[in-house]
Amino acid sequence: MIVHDLGLIEYGKALKIQEATRDAIISGEGDDTLLVCEHPKVITIGRAVGSAAEVFSRDIPVFEVSRGGRATLHLPGQVVAYPILDLKKREKDLHGYMRRLEEAIIATLGDFRINGERVEGKTGVWVGDDARKIASLGIAVKKWVCYHGIALNVICDLEAFKSISPCGFESNVMTSADRELGEEYRKVWAIDSDRLFKNVKTRLVENLNTELGVE
């Protein structure tokens, strides 16, 4: 995959890049691409019925988008990754594709000694016995080219999730890598928040490349 790190970018601009890349791949003029970025605070609403009612703030921009799922909050300190891929080169299996995205997140968390898990019946990646949500997923597909993707909380302001019911859950279900990182790991690696964010982003890109490569 071609990887583009867009840095901190407004959601609307990133969406236009996604759609242009998707259309280029459909036409045969583009290559599989992974966009990695952060967004200023923004709420997106997927196709699930009733998602608009999960937004409680009028002070944050809201986008209604084509991905599956419900209301999600993006904000600085969250690694967002948009794989834009031709699934015909892999497998025409959307559920399998979602599991690959989850596996890349779980592998990334494992690199930092955080035990990420799937929860039956719930999309995303979770940690702890009480199932705290650390990553959200939502995709769309056009002519078997997928877009949208994943959001992994690293060092973001978790209080901001009170502005929505994230994916239909209470806001206090959300957690982050910074919150879950063990003290032993911090001591051994002398890691600070900025370094944690950069390292998580690097490992996520590497793990997505591993999981989504053409076999």
Which residues participate in catalysis according to the annotation?
167
The 10 Å Cβ neighbour count of residue 191 is 15
**The token pair that represents 159 in the structure block:** 């209080």
| CA 32 to the chain's CA centroid | 18
Would you say 98 and 185 are in contact if contact means Cβ atoms under 8 Å apart?
A: no
Secondary structure E strands in the chain = 2-8, 33-38, 42-45, 62-64, 71-74, 78-86, 116-119, 122-127, 132-142, 145-153
Collapsing DSSP states into helix, strand and coil, what is residue 30? coil
